Structure 1
Amino acid sequence: MKMKFLLSSLLFLSSIQLYAQVKLDLEGGLVLGTNYNKVRIPNVGGTIVNLPEDLSIDPKVFYRIRAGYTIAKRHNISLLYAPLTVTYQGNFNRNINFNNTTFLAGQPVKVHYKFNSYRLTYRYDLISRARAQVGVGLTAKIREADVRFQNESFNTHFDNLGFVPLINFYVALKPSYRWSVILEGDALASKQGRAEDIFAGVAYQLNNKLGVKLGYRVVEGGADVDDVYNFNWINYASAGLLITL
């Protein structure tokens, strides 16, 4: 019985390895702009500003890296590193209280807005066919945020590190072997805030190891808590490489 159990276990592990795949998703492109980025720090006593409305945004190149591992065709585990820092500059038409520091109207000011994301995701593919793939899962996200206001007189910032649970989803439809239409992302809403990071686009498979993708990504959400009020909408023009090892 022990020998039979050992042989069965070896066969099972071999089958897992047979259907296991390592995948890399290397994405980059341009931050097209922000529909809004509303900030008030502190939430009580601070001045609310809409950064893209009050200031201008500098053009920004972005990148993100996802490493994934697929087991038995349906179980997907991935790690994502998605850094982002955008800079706004100009001058406000009114005095601004940010982080208990007053920035006077008409004075040149720069605002550096950092929103880095680190995520661990598990997704199960409910449908895994040649022409369609549909999956849902859970994402554990660590958010590293920092908002910095600076001018000739002051340089002050507010940083925040927090955990956010999200629902992950993935839909890919393949009209042909080489082409795919993709909708994927992480999203969740609660009383304190919400978060959405969604990509919509197309992918083209060059061969069985390498593909390319092109599309649009939106990151939207924020929080309304004791220390900070911040909600943003960021638009991306996105392209990337899809590598299977």
Structure 2
Amino acid sequence: MKFILIFIFCCFNLILTAQLSLDAETGVLFSGYNDVRIAGDQGTLFSLTEELETKPQPFVRLSATYTIADRHNISLLYAPLTINSTGSLDREVQFNGEVFAANIPLESEFRFNSYRLTYRYDIVKNPKWIVGIGFTAKIRDANIGLKSTDKSTVKNNVGFVPIINFRVGYKPTEKFGILLDGDALAAPQGRAEDVLLAVTYDLSKKLELRAGYRVLEGGADNDEVYTFSLFHYAALGANYTFGKYQ
């Protein structure tokens, strides 16, 4: 009974000393390369950005992080992404079982919504430095669609991707800092990188603002689908913290 009471007390103390932070990021998203072939072993390879027109667009990302004992971080991220492309191709395209004729108006939708659960342990945490490493379980909800005036088709793909998470922050002054934060992993089946480099500014003890550059890159190459893409983000963010540790 004594050990049970001690365990309950320790859990209760951890809850009382934990902190919750909410984070929002927005800005402008620019497409780099975005090459697709569906099916991966039979379709026509074409580019949604070099052969079709893709315009910059706004984006938003939302996350929440629960920190226990000042070093153990559990976070949830919602990062939607939808890119629309228009134009025509100078050759016949076989895409997801359909055949689209050359030189006809085409519209494409590339969607890659990301849901992530992350655990990170901060190895170093002091007023100037934070260095952490962890693991992210990512669920991708993706589809690529192509349509003309008389036909359309969509390839859906939902899957799980394990990724390494990391965070490095340095504060040369009390207010200003530099942050490198992201998820990244490469494997024979494909790769994924989502990395932010930003300058941070503490508006108050609880509210941190940031501005920086985010890169999202990756893809897969298999019999079902070939897709590799690169996106650039001009990003502005805000992080508000509730709790004991600042």
Q: TM-score higher than 0.5 here?
A: yes
Report the CA distance between 1:18 and its aligned residue: 4.3
Match of 1:28 in 2: 26
Q: Distance in 1 between matches of 2:124 and 2:17?
A: 16
Which runs of 5 or more structure 2 residues have no equivalent in the other structure?
Answer: none
Report the alpha carbon displacement of residue 60 of structure 1 after superposing the two structures with TM. 1.3
**Mind listing any 5+ residue stretches in structure 1 that lack a counterpart?**
none
Q: How many residue pairs align between the two structures?
A: 242
How many angstroms apart in 2 are the aligned matches of 1:197 and 1:181? Answer: 17
The 1-side partners of 2:142 and 2:12 are apart by 43
- Tell me the secondary structure at the aligned position of residue 16 of structure 1: helix
2:68 to 68, 71, 75: 71
Q: Please list the CA deviations of residues 165-209 of structure 1 after superposition, one character each: whole Å capped at 9, or x if unmatched.
A: 000000010111211100010011111100000010111111111
**Cα offset, 1:9, TM superposition:** 4.1
> For 2:77, which of 72, 77, 80 is the aligned residue?
80
Q: Is the 8 A contact 2:84 2:108 kept in 1?
A: yes
Per-residue deviation at 1:127? 0.2
User: Where does residue 195 of structure 1 map in the other structure?
Assistant: 192
1:220 corresponds to:
217
Match of 2:56 in 1: 59
Measured after TM superposition, the shift of residue 45 of structure 1 is 1.6
Q: Which residue number corresponds to residue 133 of structure 1?
A: 130
Residue 88 (structure 2) pairs with residue 91 (structure 1): yes
Distance 1:94 1:67 in 2: 46
- Residue 149 (structure 1) aligns with: 146
Give yes or no for contact 2:142–2:157 (8 Å, CA) kept in 1: yes
Deviations 1:80-130 (A, max 9, x none): 000000111111111111112112221111110000000000000000111
1:38 aligns with 2:42: no
State how far apart, in whole Å, the 1-side matches of 2:5 and 2:92 are: 75
1:238, distance to aligned residue in structure 2 (A) = 0.6
Find runs of 4+ consecutive structure 1 residues off by over 6 angstroms: none
> Which sits farther off after the overlay, 152-161 or 11-20?
11-20
Alpha-carbon shift at residue 15 of structure 1 (Å): 3.9
Partner in structure 1 of residue 158 of structure 2: 161
- Opposite residue 62 of structure 1, the aligned amino acid is F
CA drift at 1:139: 0.3
Residue among 160, 164, 168 paired with 1:171: 168
Q: Structure 2: how far apart are the matches of 1:14 and 1:112? A: 48
CA distance in 2, matches of 1:67, 1:6: 31
